[in-house]
Amino acid sequence: MSQTKSAFGQAASLDTEHAVITRNICKNYGAVEALKDLSLEFPRGQLTSLLGPSGCGKTTLLKIIAGLLEPTSGEVEVNGRLINGPGPNRAFVFQDFALLPWASVMRNVAFGLELRGMPKSEREAIAENYISAVGLSGFENSYPHELSGGMRQRVGLARALSVDAKVLLMDEPFSAVDEQTRRKFQEDLLGLVQNENKTFIFVTHSIEEAVYVSDQIAILLPRPSRVSEIIRPRALHGKDVSNIRRDPEYLDIVDQIWASLRSYVE
């Protein structure tokens, strides 16, 4: 990777293979060392999962990449530019949905575009497209308290998709749904990765989910958090996804990850 200076004097790389790069990220919360020297590369147009036990720093890393949280030291590069805060090239799907309780589904989904000053008819046309893509047609005028947890997660996903950021940061986006809905979401996510030309960074607790949806899995170990292993289940992707959960290669990867993680699960 070669380095140049951008017009703003920030180091800009000519790395076109990776949409996001984190270098030597450290994050301390007081005496708690949440992340230590975390360096990772996220291939453009692919889905990378962050997998690891509770409290290992997954949300912290995602918020640092989003620019919502400042690292104690280290840097994040997005599309060749160092970040110093949130930006329109990144959208976040929060662990707890973060919907506006007083706004309808339509207004929630279109909110990012409203903040950018896009005219109402234009932003509602885009929002409608993604409301339909996540299966919520007919609920445009409902309010968050009238929806199930899974439906709220779909609203958060539609909102993140509608701002057309090239990098999607998803913090356990399927954690509040039942098993069947979760499987449907996972299938839909694979479709999005194939069709949307975005880079996905996806946090999950589920080994099976990570192996099913990912091009690359970074396994994080806690205290302080570090990357213990990178696994690339991409070889599975050419295969028929409807049979993937019975595929010997899939099962091998799931076992291998469980072997790495089991000693960290109390």
Chain residues binding ligand ATP by CB under 6 A are: 29, 32, 34, 54-60, 205
- Label residues 197-230 b or e (16+ Cβ within 10 Å = b): ebbbbbbbebbbbbbbbbbbbbbbbeebbbbeee
Rounded to a whole number of angstroms, the minimum distance from the CB of residue 95 to Mg ion is 5
Distance of closest approach, residue 193 Cβ to ligand ATP, in angstroms: 22
The minimum distance between CB 62 and Mg ion, in angstroms, equals: 8
One residue of 10, 13, 59, 104 binding Mg ion per CB under 5 A: 59
For residues 254 and 233, what is the distance between their CA atoms, to the nearest angstrom?
10
Residue 163 interacts, among Mg ion, ligand ATP, none and using kind-specific CB cut-offs from 5 to 8 Å, with none
Residues 254, 258: Cα–Cα separation, whole Å? 6
> For residue 136, how many other CB atoms are within 10 A of its CB?
21
Q: 56 or 163, CB closer to ligand ATP?
A: 56
Q: Please answer whether residues 173 and 153 qualify as being in contact, where contact means their C-beta atoms are separated by less than 8 angstroms.
A: yes
Which residue of the chain is nearest Mg ion when measured via CB? 59
Tell me which of Mg ion, ligand ATP, none is bound by residue 89, counting a contact when its beta carbon lies within the kind-specific cut-off of 5 to 8 angstroms.
none
Check if the beta carbon of residue 53 is closer than 8 Å to that of residue 261: yes
d(CA 159, CA 106): 9
Nearer to ligand ATP, 51 or 126 (CB): 51
When the beta carbons of 172 and 215 are compared against ligand ATP, the nearer one is 172
What, of ligand ATP, Mg ion, none, does residue 65 touch, CB below 5 to 8 Å by kind?
none
Query: Within a 13 Å sphere around the CA of 195, how many CA atoms are in the beta-carbon half?
Result: 8
Q: Which is nearer to Mg ion, 124 or 171 (CB)?
A: 171
Cβ–Cβ under 8 Å, residues 233 and 211: yes
Q: Does 175 interact with Mg ion (rule: CB under 5 A)? A: no
Binding footprint of Mg ion on the chain (CB under 5 A): 59
